Amino acid sequence: MIQAKICGVRTPDAIAAAVAGGARAIGLVFFPASPRAVDPSFAAELARQVPTGVQVIGLFVDPQNDDLERIVGQVPLDMVQLHGSETPERVADVKSRFGLPVMKAIAIGDAADLERARSFELVADRLLFDAKAPAGVSSLPGGNGLAFDWTLLAGQRWSRPWMLAGGLNPDNVAAAVRASGAQAVDVSSGVEDRPGHKSPAKISAFLAALRSL
């Protein structure tokens, strides 16, 4: 089955639906401006409900070291996701300071953005290709429910595992996988009833669509 990460989870029933449907990772958002943000003590409770074998990934946007230290010390994370304007050097720094693998999110609009992504290929443990945030409309660099041209990824070879994200939902994820060649996908708003409110039914439908591939 294509691997799936359900991002921006804030409730035990969303975790249960993700795990039951075969998700390989859940994402906890530590970006205060997000409607999906969780505080670290609650995040630690949620993380403890995630069974071994399902990764818990902490999402940060241009984090300060003291914020990372506080959260990584409190929440049992398997991986850090950097979703801001972090450089390759900063990715390497976070990896060595905190001893956790790092997934770097890269906003894709055109082929030039894929070339930019190459600079992270040897330093990040995983890459996540997401749509660009709409200029002047959203203050969030991710979780905007927007897709990019999936065919930009077709035929590209990467030395690190990568995930496709951006505007995926139960109705389009199969087409997105076919068009991009993705072996792993990430979803947030496409499995919500409204921003920050995950729908267990939509999570189940999303994962069922992947199982049918």
Ligand X SMILES: O=C(O)c1ccccc1NCC(=O)[C@H](O)[C@H](O)COP(=O)(O)O
For ligand X, the closer CB: 25 or 157: 25
CA neighbours within 13 Å on the CB side: how many for 160?
20
For ligand X, the closer CB: 96 or 138: 138
* 179 burial via Cβ count (<10 Å: 0-12, 13-18, 19+): middle
Q: Does 198 bind ligand X (CB under 6 A)?
A: no
Q: Which entry of 62, 113, 130, 149 is annotated as an active-site residue? A: 130
With CA atoms as reference, report the closest residue to 124 among 165, 153, 81. Answer: 81
CA distance 141 to 124: 19
Q: Does 8 bind ligand X (CB under 6 A)?
A: yes
Tell me the angle at which helices 40-48 and 65-74 cross, rounded to the nearest 10 degrees.
Answer: 40
193 is catalytic: no
Binds ligand X by CB under 6 A, chosen from 36, 126, 198, 202? 36
Q: Which of residues 124-153 bind ligand X (CB under 6 A)?
A: 130, 140-146
Q: Does 10 bind ligand X (CB under 6 A)?
A: no
Closest CB to ligand X: residue number: 143
130 is catalytic: yes
Q: Does 166 bind ligand X (CB under 6 A)?
A: yes
CA distance 78 to 85: 22
Q: Does 107 bind ligand X (CB under 6 A)?
A: no
Binds ligand X by CB under 6 A, chosen from 164, 186, 198, 203? 186
For ligand X, the closer CB: 16 or 37: 37
Binds ligand X by CB under 6 A, chosen from 80, 106, 173, 189? 189
By three-state DSSP, how is residue 130 classified? Answer: strand
Q: How far is the CB of 133 from ligand X (least distance, A)?
A: 9
Q: How far is the CB of 36 from ligand X (least distance, A)?
A: 4
Binding interface with ligand X (CB under 6 A): 7-8, 27, 29, 31, 34, 36, 59, 61, 83, 130, 140-146, 165-168, 186-190
